[in-house]
Amino acid sequence: MPSQPAALAARLPLTGTAPPPREAMAVATLSVLAVLAPLVLGVLSLAPNRLLSPRAAAMPQTAGVIICLGLFLGFCLGTALLARRAAWLGWAELAAALALCALLAGIGVAAGEVLRDASPAARATPAAGFWMAMLLLALAAGCCAAGRGGTPRNFMVAVVLGFGLLWAAGLLGNLSVAREASARGAEIRAAAIQHLGLSGSALLLALAVSLPLSLLALRHRKLEAALMGVANGFQVVPSIALFGLLMGPLGALVSWAPGLRDWGVGGIGPAPAVLGIAVYLLLPLCSAFLAGLRVVPPALIDAARGQGLTEAGILRRLRIPLGLGVMLGGLRVAAVQAIGLATLAALIGGGGLGTLVFQGIGQLATDLILLGVLPMVALSLLADGGCAALQAALERGP
Amino acid sequence: MIRFEGVSRRYGEQAAVDRVTLEVPRGSICVLLGESGSGKSTLMRMVNRLVEPSAGRVLVDGRDVAGADPEELRRGIGYVIQSVGLFPHWRVADNIATVPRLLGWEPARIAARVETLLELVGLEATLFRDRFPHELSGGQAQRVGLARALAADPPLLLMDEPFSALDPGTRRGLQVALREIHAETGKTILFVTHDVEEALALADRLAVLDQGQLVAQGRPAALLEGAAQGPVRRIFGEESLAFHRLATLPARSLARVGDADGLPMLPADATLKQALMLMLSENSARLALPAEAGFGGGTLHWTDLVTAR
């Protein structure tokens, strides 16, 4: 049967005419939509000042803008074409990132042209077409990553680097967000540091509580049930309600022992925020610690005990090294969750990047919201990436 | 070497081990035989205090183990279990070195000891020393488990169904290896199994447990002499009792003086069971036995075999 080897060869990749990966069609569709979105929705909008609603503006036809838009078109096309080979999916991801950068650069250059003739209070900002293209290109990159069986790391790194380079080159300086940022630079830095402080201390507090409790719960079934019950219970309470609930007892505590006020304890402010966030971190931390400590099968514990290892020795030589991956996974979830939850601290006077977000919501100023959200996303990605790198390093080690 | 004095272990109303008194002589392989749930593992685990008796006491070398520090006691007793329990993140050499490290031996002494032990259990040291447990076959892993138990040269080994998870060929190979290691080192071995053939292949002394009670003990041949009764009969299997009895007797015990020319040859230390199997496979009613120190050689006859008591 001569047809059989031929059919087999057709199914095997890397035999000359490899079929395109399953994701090729999806990536192509998403890339085409990413090109169409700016045409239909517009990419640049202009507002008379920072509080009035922006209106769509036409892109000026200067050489810089046309080059950038041409690059955008080219990279979108490149994404679609590169995704037709499984081995090139990584490059397709990179092309998607470059397309996004080219579009942003075009908007930045265009903003400079448009604002030259406008009043100093006027603001230029990316319009819906840009955000839509960003979403579509991110999805295309996600498809490519799925085809490679990985995370869209190439896309993320390239976008972060590209945006950073555009910023450093001064191409984005005329965009509304950048103007708002340069006006509030010190405020943003302070808020970011506060945000890190809030989430960091909440994480440390939660660690200090959940580590010893998990170790105890390993031995005592009843304590485990109680611990997981409490941790689960808190997860159900809405976070704002929990912050509210904490106000009463903490306020009472301070009026009973006024000396505590010097330490920052009080019904409102950072103390209840840290406490509230920490409470939400108990569940991911405790469940990961307990699961990690139980990675070692009972028979192995029996063998270790039978050889004369002490309980502390079993913990140090078996439970911790073998469960570290699982435990770090929990830490990763908790760190990201802490950074997200710290946003709400602003509601009870705890400060942090949430302050900018809620101020922006109050003033209907999108740029201000973005200035709160963007550093937060960066912090989350950093925390997540750091934990992931640590996890990978440990798994590669002995 | 080990004395169980009226030991019991109760879980609520249930007695897992019920008033067992048993002596394990120094240098012997004593097999605890019983069905699952008979309390044989529980009884064995009292020796290194992984289980504490509810009543009675366990003496090792004349000293009550209840008075010993559990960790120190366990470091002086080899322990091998069915699932092997090698530490997956440690190399073979590190696994074997577990107890010597706990005892604070010099690194050079540990390295030399690991080498010796790997050779003793039949594994090429240079080939296996640096492997991880997941790179070993089941039989190799259990050989490493045995080496680990022997690492600090303990006088006593506890083995809890160590070969039960292995395929029959590997299991027989390890049984032979264990007998050889026992002959070489003279350790006292307490061996738990539910496998009658394994028990008969290894045991100097046999103790049969049923529902927590010791129902029979002694030399395997004595235990199966005549018509065994009650639980012993059930555990050994009614229909194969006579066959198992043959496994407890040496072939030379029925040897006749005679012309052995051209007959199939038995190994010198064969049992009557092996003789029967050879007769069936060679279609021969007579076999030759080789001469050995204190034994002039001879022949074995089918009629003697089937009328043996």
Residues 6 or more apart whose Cβ sits within 8 Å of residue B269: B250
Cross-chain Cβ contact B83/A304 below 8 Å: no
Does A281 score more than 60 pLDDT?
Answer: yes
Which of residues B210, B229, B244 is at a domain's end? B244
What is the spatial distance between Cα A310 and Cα A314, in angstroms, rounded to a whole number?
6
Does A15 score more than 60 pLDDT?
Answer: no
Q: Which residue has the higher pLDDT, A140 or B232?
A: A140
Q: Which of residues 326-355 of A touch B (CB under 8 A)?
A: none
Q: Are residues A234 and A152 in the same domain?
A: no
The DSSP 8-state label assigned to residue A58 in this structure reads P
Cross-chain Cβ contact A308/B74 below 8 Å: yes
What parts of chain B have a pLDDT lower than 70? 226-228, 309
Task: Give which of B95, B88, B94, B48 is closest to A305, Cα–Cα.
Answer: B48
Q: What are phi and psi of B5, to 5 degrees?
A: -115, 100
Complex-level ipTM: 0.84
A173-226 pLDDT, tens per residue?
888 888 888 888 899 999 999 999 999 999 999 999 999 999 999 888 899 999
What is the spatial distance between Cα A82 and Cα A94, in angstroms, rounded to a whole number?
10
Q: Are residues B35 and B145 in the same domain?
A: yes
User: Any chain B CB within 8 A of the CB of A303?
Assistant: yes
Q: Which domain holds residue B290?
A: 250-307
Q: Are residues B291 and B216 in the same domain?
A: no
Considering chain A, what percentage of its residues have pLDDT values greater than 90?
50
Q: Compare CB distances from A300 to B73, B79, B85 and report the shortest one's residue.
A: B85
pLDDT band at A253 (very low <50, low <70, confident <90, very high): confident
Q: Are residues B290 and B240 in the same domain?
A: no
Cross-chain Cβ contact B71/A303 below 8 Å: no
Which of residues B244, B263, B285 is at a domain's end? B244
From B53's Cα to the closest Cα of chain A, the distance in A is: 16
Split into its structural domains, chain B has a count of: 2
Q: Are residues B147 and B254 in the same domain?
A: no
Q: Are residues B111 and B198 in the same domain?
A: yes
Please name the residue of chain A whose CA is at the shortest distance from the CA of residue B100. A307
Q: Are residues B303 and B171 in the same domain?
A: no
Q: Are residues A196 and A161 in the same domain?
A: no
Does A264 score more than 80 pLDDT?
Answer: no
A117-129 pLDDT, tens per residue?
888 888 888 889 9
Which of residues A176, A195, A215 is at a domain's end? A176
Which of residues A145, A176, A207 is at a domain's end? A176
Sheet of strand B14-24, all strands in order from the earlier edge strand to the far edge: B14-24, B2-11, B55-60, B63-64
Cross-chain Cβ contact B98/A321 below 8 Å: no
Q: Compare CB distances from B79 to A300, A306, A318 and report the shortest one's residue.
A: A306
Locus of tokens 């490519």: A144
Q: What is the pLDDT of residue B226?
A: 66
Q: What is the pLDDT of residue A348?
A: 85
Split into its structural domains, chain A has a count of: 2
pLDDT band at A343 (very low <50, low <70, confident <90, very high): very high
B186-230 pLDDT, tens per residue?
999 999 999 999 999 999 999 999 999 999 999 988 888 766 678
A350-387 pLDDT, tens per residue?
889 999 999 989 888 888 898 999 899 989 988 988 88
Contacts of B85 in chain A (CB under 8 A): 299-300, 302-304, 306
pLDDT band at A397 (very low <50, low <70, confident <90, very high): low
From B6's Cα to the closest Cα of chain A, the distance in A is: 23
From B50's Cα to the closest Cα of chain A, the distance in A is: 7
Q: What is the pLDDT of residue A391?
A: 82
Q: Are residues A160 and A211 in the same domain?
A: no
Listing DSSP states for A289-339 in one string gives HHHHHT-S-HHHHHHHHHTT--HHHHIIIIIHHHHHHHHHHHHHHHHHHHH
Q: Are residues B150 and B165 in the same domain?
A: yes
Q: Are residues B206 and B301 in the same domain?
A: no
Q: What is the pLDDT of residue A10?
A: 47
Mutation target to probe the B interface, by most B beta carbons within 10 A, among A296, A305, A307 is A307
User: Any chain A CB within 8 A of the CB of B182?
Assistant: no
Q: Are residues A159 and A261 in the same domain?
A: no
The DSSP 8-state label assigned to residue B163 in this structure reads T
Q: Compare CB distances from B87 to A306, A308, A318 and report the shortest one's residue.
A: A318
Q: Are residues B200 and B78 in the same domain?
A: yes
Q: Are residues A389 and A260 in the same domain?
A: yes
Cross-chain Cβ contact A299/B81 below 8 Å: yes
Q: What is the pLDDT of residue A49?
A: 80
Please name the residue of chain B whose CA is at the shortest distance from the CA of residue A309. B71
Contacts of A300 in chain B (CB under 8 A): 83, 85, 87-88
Q: Which domain holds residue A65?
A: 3-176
pLDDT band at A3 (very low <50, low <70, confident <90, very high): very low
From A331's Cα to the closest Cα of chain B, the distance in A is: 22
Q: What is chain A's mean pLDDT, rounded? A: 87
Q: What is the pLDDT of residue A398?
A: 46
Contacts of A396 in chain B (CB under 8 A): none
Q: Are residues A80 and A193 in the same domain?
A: no
Q: Are residues A80 and A206 in the same domain?
A: no
Q: Are residues B108 and B224 in the same domain?
A: yes
Which of residues B221, B244, B267 is at a domain's end? B244
Q: What are phi and psi of B155, to 5 degrees?
A: -75, -15
Q: Residue-wise over B180-219: b if at least 16 C-beta within 10 A, else e?
A: ebbeeeebbbbbbbbbbbbbbbbbebbbbbbbbbbbbbee
pLDDT, average across residues A288-302: 93
Please name the residue of chain B whose CA is at the shortest distance from the CA of residue A311. B71
From B271's Cα to the closest Cα of chain A, the distance in A is: 35
Q: A18-24: list long-range contacts, CB under 8 Å, 24+ apart.
A: A18/A85, A18/A86, A20/A83, A20/A84, A20/A85, A20/A86, A21/A83, A21/A84, A21/A85, A21/A86, A21/A89, A21/A147, A22/A147, A23/A83, A23/A89, A23/A143, A23/A144, A23/A146, A23/A147, A24/A83, A24/A84
pLDDT, average across residues A233-260: 81
User: Any chain B CB within 8 A of the CB of A236?
Assistant: no
What is the spatial distance between Cα A304 and Cα B89, in angstroms, rounded to a whole number?
13
CATH number of domain containing B180: 3.40.50.300
Q: Are residues A256 and A382 in the same domain?
A: yes
Q: What is the pLDDT of residue A2?
A: 45
Q: Are residues B20 and B120 in the same domain?
A: yes
Q: Are residues B47 and B27 in the same domain?
A: yes
Q: Are residues A156 and A225 in the same domain?
A: no
User: Any chain A CB within 8 A of the CB of B66?
Assistant: no
Q: Are residues A150 and A232 in the same domain?
A: no
Helix axes A128-148, A153-168, angle to 10 degrees: 140
Q: Are residues A319 and A246 in the same domain?
A: yes
CATH number of domain containing A273: 1.10.3720.10
Q: Are residues A208 and A348 in the same domain?
A: yes
Cross-chain Cβ contact A302/B98 below 8 Å: no
Mutation target to probe the A interface, by most A beta carbons within 10 A, among B89, B95, B157 is B89
A217-228 pLDDT, tens per residue?
988 889 999 999
CB pairs under 8 A between A and B: 56
Q: What is the pLDDT of residue B73?
A: 95
CATH number of domain containing B293: 3.10.580.10
Q: What is the pLDDT of residue A1?
A: 42
pLDDT band at A17 (very low <50, low <70, confident <90, very high): low
What is the spatial distance between Cα B157 and Cα B77, in angstroms, rounded to a whole number?
6
User: Any chain B CB within 8 A of the CB of A317?
Assistant: yes
Q: Compare CB distances from A307 to B75, B84, B88 and report the shortest one's residue.
A: B75
Q: Compare CB distances from A302 to B75, B81, B102 and report the shortest one's residue.
A: B81
| Number of residues in chain B | 309
Beta-strand pair B29-33/B286-289 = unpaired
Which of residues A176, A206, A230 is at a domain's end? A176
User: Any chain A CB within 8 A of the CB of B148?
Assistant: yes
Task: Give which of A233, A212, A397 is closest to A290, Cα–Cα.
Answer: A212
